[in-house]
Each structure stands twice: as C-alpha cells, then as structure tokens.
Structure 1
C-alpha cells in the first residue's frame, strides 16, 4: 500500500475533504470551501494540492466561471479499499504498517499540540486512555455500534463559532491478560 495516501488522510482537514468528496462523488473548490468554512482559503488550497500530489484526489473536470476555471475533484485512490484488501489478505507486514502509521499519526498530532506556547490538557479535553474491558463478542458488537452512532453524530456537525476541530482516534482489539 502506498503509505503516503494513508498518511495524507490522517490529517483531520484532509479527512474532512475526503469524506465530503466521497459522499458527493465530486465537489468543486467552492463547495468544499463552504463545507469547511473554518479553513482559510490558502490552507484549503494547500490541502487540496497535497491530496492531488498524493493521488488521493483527481480532477474530474472544470467549470468556467467569469473567465476563471474552477476544478471539480473526485476520489482518485480510496485508501479504505486498500486497507480492506490488506485486512482480507491478512498480510501481517502491511497490517503492521497500517497500525504503525496510525500510531505515529497520533504521536505527530500530540507533538503539534505540545508545540503551542500555551496549552492546558484539562481545558482542551485531552484524553489518553487504555481501558481493558471484559466482553463477549455480542457485547463487543453492541459497544462498537453505540460508539459509531456517537461518532457519526459528532462527525456530521458543521463547523461554527465555538466548535474546535478535534480528532478522535482509537484502537479496539482483543488482548491477553497479563499479570
């Protein structure tokens, strides 16, 4: 798997762009800008260019608006398909690389957070937890379903004043009990 595609989507703004284009099949720069209204135009263009360079997005076409061409984007490479293929094939090395990339993205995000002049872990609601839980497969299914319902509620909220972009990352897996 091309790791740059997966790494590119671990950025929360790029993930929002990806989700918007994926849900709409295609999207113009103006439509993406409206959806991500809290992202400054220069940053938005930088993210779009990075996604094109990383082969996540491609240009489907262009609209001519008052003499200026506006790009229409579509998904070029959906890394979720690649991850699903790796999962189906049970390729241990590739699975490890996916997990490694995920874990490193969390460390990079936390490193960026710590670079701020002022930070307050409590006020910013930073949570780093590993919580062991005993569950049957059925209880685990209910837990996961409930978590996805909560995630989807939060993920479908629009950007507006008072809301900060937050990234929720988690891993859920069986483990062996250790003394």
Structure 2
C-alpha cells in the first residue's frame, strides 16, 4: 500500500465512514460528509479505489452513469510486516496528524449536533490519556488481550439498537525509551 494514500484528512474521514464493514456509494458518503464538496469527495474516493484501499462491491447503471458501491479493502489498511519500519519520522508524523485531524473533525461535528446537555452522558462520550509503565513483554500481552476483547465485536454488523462508535488508539513511547 502506498502510505501516502491516507495522509489527507478527507481520505481519513472517508475511511472512517467505511469502517465496520459498511458498503456505501459516493452519494451516500456525500450525505455523511456534507461539508466536503462533491468534486473533492469523488476525487478522493477515486484515489482510494485506485490505491486499493477501497474496492467496488457492486455497481449499477443510474441515469446514464455507473453508480459504484464501495467497501474497505481492510487488508490494504495494514502495511505488510516490516513496511512501517521503512517510513520516515516525517511520514509517521504526517499519518498521525491525518488521523488526529479526522478524529478532531468527528468530535467537533458530534459536539455541534449535541443540543441536549445530557446527550454526552447518554452517548457515553469519553476521552482520556493513560500513562502505562510496561516492559516489552507486558506491552505485547496487553495488545494481545485488547485484540481478544475487541475481536468478537469487530464482526458486529449494523442492527437496530446498535450505535456506530469509533475507537481510536495511538500508542507512543512517551520518554524515548
């Protein structure tokens, strides 16, 4: 995968909308990203599809054109083992910046929509940063435990009563060790 594909905030937002097995047309994405101009959205969807990050799962003829339904090519989101080691510090920083910009944008849009002062509590809005002192082995055990807990719920599909929630993690050694 060309890691540069995900270094743009609009592309990060597109990928976020597709998470969880969602299949959307560009028109449906436009409805979920109303602040992104249509031409910009179509250009970024085409770039993500051309880069192998989105895949076409259906297409049909609509008013003389072709409407495509896209899904994430989830294996393409994970660089092959060792590829991330070839990234420069600047490329890592650009990637982190793009993800954080997407997260901040999602949070801002959520907070702008929340008109009831108790909605945040009902929706279980949460944010925190924790400092953990772990050996490499303890950290590996933590990641494995998190994967075991999250694995079953990652397979959940949209259903009545389910709310789509984004879980973002960023793990950085804080003291340079």
**TM > 0.5 fold call:** yes
Give ranges in structure 1 of 5+ residues lacking alignment: 21-31, 34-39
Task: State the Cα deviation string for residues 128-151 of structure 1 (Å, max 9, x = none).
Answer: 111111111111111111111222
SS in 1 for 2:122: coil
Structure 1 residues 38-57: aligned runs within 5 Å: 43=28, 52-56=45-49, 57=54
- Which residue matches 2:97? 100
**CA-atom RMSD in angstroms:** 3.8
The TM-score, its normalising length taken from structure 2, stands at 0.65
Q: Per-residue CA shift, 1:14-65, capped at 9, x if unaligned?
A: 1234xx7xxxxxxxxxxx47xxxxxx9962686896764233335588689x
Q: Does 1:134 align with 2:119?
A: no
C-alpha contact 2:59 2:69 (8 A) present in aligned 1: yes
Query: Number of matched residues?
Result: 152
Superposed counterparts of 1:17-166, under 5 Å:
17=21, 32=23, 43=28, 52-56=45-49, 57-59=54-56, 75=73, 78-81=76-79, 85=83, 87-116=84-113, 117-118=115-116, 120-166=119-165
Residue 7 of structure 1 pairs with residue 12 of structure 2: yes
Measure the CA separation in 1 of the matches of 2:125 and 2:163: 13
Which whole-Å CA distance do the structure 2 matches of 1:108 and 1:73 have between them? 22
**Structure 2 unaligned regions, length at least 5:** 33-40
Q: 1:173 to 1:128 in 2, by over 3 A?
A: same
Show the counterpart of 2:37.
none
CA distance in 1, matches of 2:27, 2:112: 22
- Greater displacement, 51-60 / 126-135: 51-60
